[in-house]
């Protein structure tokens, strides 16, 4: 197949998921502005009339989105398997753009109702679940395993690029009219939905190209040919997973991602407020500074992909980076605000070590497991596998900001102790060390 078509699909899906993350970021920037407005003058218009309780109310909104996203993700992969990805993605981005813009319009409509904003967040969380399983399935259709870690490491920088752009766009409006901090990202993701409808090519066969070779031997432990992963939906809309003894891979990586995402999403939603509280930055300055965490995440994701391709050990790469992240989180909280240079360096390091494993699991690992030889004949299972892994991880994404909101009044030190504990659990949970041992044994053999 022509290389230009591969690159076009990679670029297109990169833009799509950049837009998804771009539209999630504004609320973390608006938090800082509301805090400063409440602190300085109670007469300034803010999101809620109950100004003294703004932090708890924002915690409710965070979890309206994240819980809806976590629950919806388990169903999204099933729909992604059965619906044309082009239509599924296009509808998801258009509706996500609508709900993001409706959140911002509350500023101009002078709405102070928690119920209104909570409903918008729930609906937006459900719409956002259309993105990840579909884009991973699409990229997995076009690229084989040869350099998948590197390719997806570069490609997965869309998460950090989206966070950076979302911070900058929201920061440009937050001090004057925070509604535009949501409306502009909403228009952007809706525009990419239109782009998707007209230009996305779901798989090589649609343009008479050859499919890539997926079923190459991999060092990711998996089920044997005599075992199976059965995913079924009953009529009462429940999902059951029957995993026979000996299955290794999806469960371990899913649980590892749960704790890794808990750390990453706590930074996503609370880092600007932490910087503003500790370093006493303005809302825009805190938002701009927080983008350094995502810049580090871009480098960390690429490095994780390159190293895992070279060594053949996805689990081992994740394990090493997670181990290194724990002391870096402690040091950032302890000395990270002593000088501007220290702050920049620590944010870059923490971003790389926290987001590197997260990026690797959600991309290359998901694609490896979803296109494994035991699933031959069911290539669209990649969408479901991606949804299982990311859906489990999204439970952690919901828990992290919730715990941060509950713990932060007792001091930011306690929030960082929680993050370090979660990081260590990502290494230890559900025999993740067993995955590392198996990969090292395969490598030695």
Q: What are phi and psi of 232, to 5 degrees?
A: -135, 150
The pLDDT assigned to 100 comes to 97
Number of domains making up the chain: 1
- CB neighbours (10 Å) of residue 233? 12
The pLDDT assigned to 247 comes to 41
Model pLDDT for residues 38-58, shown as the tens digit of each residue: 434 333 335 554 455 666 677
Residue 24, token pair as written in the block: 């999630």
Per-residue pLDDT for 318 more than 70? Answer: yes
Residue in the block written with tokens 């699991």: 361
Average of pLDDT values for 4-17? 90
- Comparing 50 with 202, the larger pLDDT belongs to 202
The pLDDT assigned to 236 comes to 31
Which of 91-100, 197-206, 223-232 is least confident?
A: 223-232
Model pLDDT for residues 106-126, shown as the tens digit of each residue: 989 988 888 899 999 999 999
Domain of 280: which CATH number?
1.20.1250.20
The most confident of the ranges 55-59, 77-81, 163-167, 408-412 is 163-167
Q: How confident is the model at residue 307 (pLDDT cuts 50, 70, 90)?
A: confident
Report the C-alpha dihedral over residues 134, 136, 141, 145, rounded to 10 degrees. -170
Per-residue pLDDT for 103 more than 80? Answer: yes
250: closest CA among 114, 115, 361, 139?
361
The pLDDT assigned to 377 comes to 45
Share of the chain above pLDDT 90, in %: 33
Please provide the distance, in angstroms rounded to a whole number, between the alpha carbons at the two ends of the chain. Answer: 35
The pLDDT assigned to 266 comes to 92
Q: How confident is the model at residue 383 (pLDDT cuts 50, 70, 90)?
A: low
- Comparing 74 with 404, the larger pLDDT belongs to 404
Which of 20-29, 30-39, 67-76, 201-210 is least confident?
A: 30-39
Taking the C-alpha atoms of residue 258 and residue 422, their distance in angstroms, rounded to an integer, is 9
Taking the C-alpha atoms of residue 190 and residue 258, their distance in angstroms, rounded to an integer, is 29
Q: How confident is the model at residue 243 (pLDDT cuts 50, 70, 90)?
A: very low
Cβ–Cβ < 8 Å for 12, 196: yes
Taking the C-alpha atoms of residue 12 and residue 6, their distance in angstroms, rounded to an integer, is 10
Cβ–Cβ < 8 Å for 431, 252: yes
The pLDDT assigned to 223 comes to 36
Taking the C-alpha atoms of residue 49 and residue 43, their distance in angstroms, rounded to an integer, is 10
Taking the C-alpha atoms of residue 260 and residue 423, their distance in angstroms, rounded to an integer, is 6
- CB neighbours (10 Å) of residue 105? 15
- Comparing 239 with 80, the larger pLDDT belongs to 80
Taking the C-alpha atoms of residue 241 and residue 256, their distance in angstroms, rounded to an integer, is 18
Q: What integer best gives the mean pLDDT of the chain? A: 78
The pLDDT assigned to 209 comes to 74
Domain housing 230: 1-444
Residue 218, token pair as written in the block: 């991999």
Share of the chain above pLDDT 70, in %: 75
Taking the C-alpha atoms of residue 218 and residue 221, their distance in angstroms, rounded to an integer, is 8
The pLDDT assigned to 346 comes to 94
Which of 173-182, 211-220, 306-315 is least confident?
A: 211-220
Which of 94-103, 139-148, 284-293, 312-321 is least confident?
A: 139-148
């Amino acid at each position: 197949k022509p290389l230009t078509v591969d690159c076009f699909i990679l670029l297109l899906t990169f833009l799509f998921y950049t837009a998804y993350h771009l539209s999630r970021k504004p609320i973390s920037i608006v938090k800082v502005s509301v805090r400063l407005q409440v602190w300085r003058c109670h007469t300034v218009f803010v999101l809620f009339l109950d100004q003294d309780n703004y932090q708890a109310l924002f915690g409710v909104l965070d979890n309206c989105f994240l819980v809806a996203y976590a629950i919806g993700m388990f169903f999204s992969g099933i729909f992604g398997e059965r619906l044309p990805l082009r239509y599924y993605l296009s509808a998801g981005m258009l509706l996500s753009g609508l709900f993001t813009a409706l959140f911002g319009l509350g500023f101009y409509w002078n709405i102070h109702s928690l119920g209104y904003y909570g409903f918008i967040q729930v609906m937006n969380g459900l719409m956002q679940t259309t993105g990840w399983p579909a884009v991973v399935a699409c990229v997995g259709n076009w690229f084989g395993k040869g350099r998948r870690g590197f390719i997806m490491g570069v490609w997965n920088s869309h998460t950090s690029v989206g966070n950076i752009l979302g911070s900058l766009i929201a920061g440009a409006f937050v001090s004057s009219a925070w509604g535009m901090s949501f409306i502009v990202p909403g228009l952007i993701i809706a525009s990419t939905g239109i782009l998707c409808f007209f230009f996305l090519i779901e798989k090589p066969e649609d343009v008479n190209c050859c499919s890539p070779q997926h079923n190459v031997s991999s060092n990711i432990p998996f089920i044997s040919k005599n075992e199976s992963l059965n995913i079924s939906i009953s009529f009462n809309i429940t999902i059951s997973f029957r995993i026979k003894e000996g299955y290794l891979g999806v469960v371990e990586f899913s649980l590892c991602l749960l704790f890794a995402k808990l750390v990453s999403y706590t930074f996503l939603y609370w880092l600007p407020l932490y910087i503003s509280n500790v370093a006493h930055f303005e809302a825009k300055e805190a938002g701009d500074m927080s983008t350094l965490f995502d810049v580090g995440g871009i480098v960390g994701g690429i490095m994780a992909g390159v190293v895992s391709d070279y060594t053949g050990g996805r689990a081992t790469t994740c394990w090493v980076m997670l181990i290194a992240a724990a002391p870096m989180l402690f040091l950032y909280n302890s000395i990270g605000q002593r000088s501007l240079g220290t702050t920049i360096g620590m944010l870059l390091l923490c971003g790389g070590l926290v987001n590197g494993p997260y990026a690797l699991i959600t991309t290359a690992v998901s694609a490896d497991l979803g296109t494994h030889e035991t699933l031959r004949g069911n290539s669209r299972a990649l969408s479901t596998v991606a949804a299982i892994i990311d859906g489990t991880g999204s439970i952690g994404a919901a828990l992290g900001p919730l715990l941060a909101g509950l713990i932060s009044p007792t001091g930011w030190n306690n929030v960082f102790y929680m993050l370090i504990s979660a990081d260590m659990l990502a290494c230890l949970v559900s025999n993740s060390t067993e995955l590392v041992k198996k990969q090292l044994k395969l490598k030695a053999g």
